[in-house]
Amino acid sequence: MILGGMLLTLNALFPATRKITRTPEQKAALHPKLSPLSLYQFKGCPFCIKVRRALKEMDIELTLRNCESGVYREELLREGGEIQVPCLKIEESGKTRWLYESDEIISYLRKVIDQPAA
Ligand SMILES: N[C@@H](CCC(=O)N[C@@H](CS)C(=O)NCC(=O)O)C(=O)O
């Protein structure tokens, strides 16, 4: 908890910088690719902060689900299989996948936003 608070403070003091800046139109074009995704996270988890900083660098936004407690934590355990964050919930073609591991999540997001529109 104390470490998480310190990391959040450091993250606020030294915010990630955008490596790319998207126009509102470009963001709207990404919406179909990103809306099926949600990031299950803890606010003060270093690996979650790493993913959130990568989101900022890529100038994209995802639905964030805080799962320190409550229904999203229960859902993560029940459907994802374990309580480990960050975890990306991917809803595609009527199926749901749960992607664990911060590096995997960042790589997946990079691939998703580079994909040409379907
Ligand atoms: N290798 C993982 C590590 C993730 C990890 O250790 N997450 C911790 C929080 S910082 C966790 O989910 N712990 C389970 C718990 O607190 O119940 C990654 O890079 O995503």
pLDDT tens string 52-101 = 999 999 999 999 999 999 999 999 999 999 999 999 999 999 999 999 99
Report, as an integer, the average pLDDT of 3-10.
90
Lookup: tokens for 81: 């299989």
For 91, the 3-state DSSP assignment is strand
CA distances from 75 to 17, 45, 59, 87, 103 (A): 32, 19, 28, 12, 22
Distance CA 102, CA 86 (A): 6
Atom of ligand 1 nearest to the CA of 50: 19
> Which residues, judged by CB distance below 6 Å to any ligand atom, belong to the binding site of ligand 1?
42, 45-47, 83-86, 101-102
Ligand 1: which residue has its CA nearest to atom 13? 84
In the reported structure, the alpha carbon of residue 116 is separated from the centroid of ligand 1 by a whole-number distance in angstroms of 32
Q: Within 10 Å of residue 48's Cβ, how many Cβ atoms?
A: 24
